[in-house]
Structure 1
C-alpha cells in the first residue's frame, strides 16, 4: 500500500542569492556544490565541537534551495544561519510550502510520483518527500505517526532520538544515511567528525532493540548483565531505539526495564556496525 502523510513536524527555509552554495558548503555536513534542482540531500548543522545540532534536507531549486528542517527549531536554525552569513550575498527566509511524504508499507518501491516530489536520500524504503505536492491518485492518506512507525521498522532514527547537542552525527548513523560527505572539505564540526571516521572511534550508535510489551520511558537504562549498555530513546510496542555501546550490546543478552531485550542491526547497517564492534576497547 502506498501512503501519503503530511509532515507537520517539518518546515522550510528558503536560501537564495549569488553566494548560497559557498555559504552552505562551509557550514553543513553535506556537499551542495553539485546539488541539482529537484534533488534532495540529507545533512546536518553541527556545533564547532562536532556534536549534532539539527538535521536538514537540502532541496535543490532553480534559484537556490530549500532547507527542510524541524518546524520547532526553524527559528533557531534561521538565527544560526544569519549569524554565519556575515558579508555573504545570501537571502534567508521562512517558507510555508507544506512538506509531505509518500511511502510504501510493503517491500515494493513507490513509483516516481512526478512534480513536487524528490527521492528521500537516506534509505530506499523511505520513498519520496513532497514540497507543495498533492497526493497521487490511489495513495492512502495517513497520519505522520504512521511514517514514524515505518522508520522504526526500518531502523531509521529521528530527531527525537538524537536530540540537539547531545550526540555526534556518526552515533546517530548520519554516515550510513548519506548525511555526511567526507570528501567535501571543511564544514563546522568537520575536524571531530572526520577524526572519528578515520580512526574508527565509533563506540556507540543508535540501534533498534526488541522486547515484549510497551516501550520503556526515554532514558531507561539498557543493561548487559549488570553493566550499562545504553539507554532508550523512543519507541513503541515491542520495539524502540536506543543509544547502545556496541562492544557491550551486540550479541549479548540485554534487559530493559527488567525485561529481556536484544539489539537488532538493520541490514543496511550490518557491515559498518560489525566493523565498529570489533574495534579495540
Structure 2
C-alpha cells in the first residue's frame, strides 16, 4: 500500500526517498482500489462482509492461532475447508463514472444476465466489488441508470499464489 514515514516536523519526504511524491486522498483511494484493499463500513458492511471474502487473512487481519472474536468458528471452519467462493476484487470500468454515482450493493451481472456479485465502492474507472470467483474471467457488466457499463475484474499481484501441483 505504499510507505509510512516518520520524520521530524518540516522534513521533505522527497529528499529522504528520491522519486517519491505525496499523494492526495483521491490518489490513495485509486491506489487501494487497484490493489483491492477495503476500508471502512462502505467496503466492509457490518453484518454482511465476511473476513475471508474481504481478503483480511491475506493482509494478516485474522489470526488462526489465537484470540476469540465474533464469527471465529465460521471463519476458522471456512479457512480450513478451503472453500471461498467470493472475494473482494479490483474492478476496472470501460468508462469513467462520477464517485458515488453507482449505488452500494449494485448487482454485477454476467453477459447471460446471471448474478456475479455486488459493487462495493469506486470512482472514475476503478472500484472494488465482491465477486464470485467462478465468474471473474467472464465479461461482466453493471446496470447504471439504465445503461450497461462493462467491467473487468483482476486478481491483485500481492495475493498469495496457489500452490502448484
2:82 matches 1:207: no
Distance 1:163 1:136 in 2: 38
- What is aligned with 2:29? 148
Distance 1:207 1:135 in 2: 38
Any idea what SS the aligned residue of 2:159 has?
A: helix
Distance 1:142 1:253, change over 3 A: closer
Distance 1:165 1:129 in 2: 34
For the pair shown, the structure with the greater C-alpha radius of gyration is 1
- What is aligned with 1:252? 138
Q: Which structure has more RCO (C-alpha within 8 Å, separation ≥ 6)? A: 2
Q: How far apart are 1:260 and its partner, in Å? A: 2.3
Residues 51 and 57 in structure 2, CA contact (< 8 A), matched pair in contact too: yes
Matches within 5 A, 1:47-66: none
In the alignment, which of 155, 164, 168 is matched to residue 46 of structure 2?
164
In the alignment, which of 137, 151, 155 is matched to residue 12 of structure 2?
137
Q: Which moved more, 1:216-225 or 1:175-184?
A: 216-225
Q: TM-score, normalised by structure 1?
A: 0.47
Distance 1:136 1:154, change over 3 A: farther
Structure with the larger strand share: 1
Q: TM-score, normalised by structure 2?
A: 0.76
Q: How far apart are 1:243 and its partner, in Å? A: 0.7
Aligned length: 148
Distance 2:122 2:63 in 1: 29
2:68 matches 1:178: no
2:116 matches 1:229: yes
Q: How far apart are 1:161 and its partner, in Å? A: 0.9
- What is aligned with 2:17? none
2:78 matches 1:196: yes
Q: How far apart are 1:129 and its partner, in Å? A: 6.9
Q: How far apart are 1:263 and its partner, in Å? A: 1.1
Q: How far apart are 1:141 and its partner, in Å? A: 4.8
Distance 1:200 1:127 in 2: 32
Distance 1:142 1:152, change over 3 A: same
2:164 matches 1:266: no
Distance 1:232 1:208 in 2: 10
Q: How far apart are 1:189 and its partner, in Å? A: 2.4
Q: How far apart are 1:208 and its partner, in Å? A: 1.1
